[in-house]
Amino acid sequence: MLRDLVAYLDSVKSRDPAPRSRAEILLYPGVWSLAFHRVAHRLYCARLYFLARAVNHLSRFLTGNDIHPGARIGKRFFIDHGFTVIGETAEIGDDVTLYQNVTLGGTDPANGIAGKRHPTLHDGVIVGSGAQVLGPIEVGARARVGANAVVTKDVPEGATMVGIPARPMLVDVTAYQRDFLPYGTPCTDCLDPEKQKLEVLRGEVERLQQRLSELLEEREIVNPSPPDDAPAHRERGRA
């Protein structure tokens, strides 16, 4: 058990550059939230719903995070800072990271799987601060949800989602290949939606210009222009 705790603290330290020691990580509200949830979830599975809720409310009071006892959470889960809400039917895989003010919320249970109101996050997902992931959707492994994004549809594996409503964005391969990217998404101009639109339009204009040049060259080959001295030859012939 002690070995598992050390491995968990090391996994948190690998995702957060702030702590100087494992002991410091033990003061994190996200770590305590997960510890309280493990107890509450066991009580919930034993159908001791009142006691499970009591532990949940104590955890929310002490840590600021509200994790429903029914939520299923995998290994090495980390909430950086707090004020996160996780619903009853949410499912979270291994090595998932949530930043502050994230909501894994529900929608109308008639939309989707019966009884399933909250999202499923697969292994290695990162959700940026203020993001809302809503409904019985699936967020694929290693996907990233940018800060303040609102996700209401399934997210492909490895995608980076930004905006309201969230949409996939291109990410530089050097950033994509990293094992972990702090704070959800890379802070580069390539993720600016307006700049991306300009780049797409610029590429389209260049493509059209190239095509126009090719068409003009083909026309010159089929219908070559007369030489410049042709009119002078015609005048001499008439004389």
- The set of residues, in sequence order, having a beta carbon less than 8 Å from that of 16 and lying 6+ positions away, is 25, 78, 80, 182
Q: Tell me if 132 sits within 8 A of 149, measured CB to CB.
A: yes
What confidence tens digit (pLDDT) does each residue in 176-204 have? Answer: 545 665 555 555 545 555 565 676 677 77
- Residue 222's pLDDT band, with cuts at 50, 70 and 90, is confident
At residue 176, φ and ψ (nearest 5 deg) are -65, -35
Strand partners, 57: none
pLDDT at 86: 93
pLDDT at 162: 87
- How high does pLDDT run on average in the chain? 81
Give the pairing of strands 66-67 and 85-86: parallel
pLDDT at 218: 80
What confidence tens digit (pLDDT) does each residue in 102-125 have? Answer: 999 887 665 555 578 899 999 999
CA distances from 194 to 163, 189, 190 (A): 12, 10, 10
CA distances from 199 to 75, 173, 189, 204 (A): 41, 18, 11, 9
Cα-only R_g, the chain: 29
Q: Average pLDDT, stretch 66-91?
A: 92
CA distances from 29 to 4, 57, 82 (A): 19, 14, 7
2-191 maps to which CATH number?
2.160.10.10
CB atoms within 10 A of CB 98: 29
- The set of residues, in sequence order, having a beta carbon less than 8 Å from that of 85 and lying 6+ positions away, is 65, 66, 67, 102, 103, 104, 105
Sign of the alpha-carbon torsion through 141, 143, 147, 148: negative
Q: Average pLDDT, stretch 27-40?
A: 93
Q: Tell me, yes or no, if the pTM score tops 0.75.
A: no
pLDDT at 147: 87
Domain locations in the chain as residue ranges: 2-191, 195-238
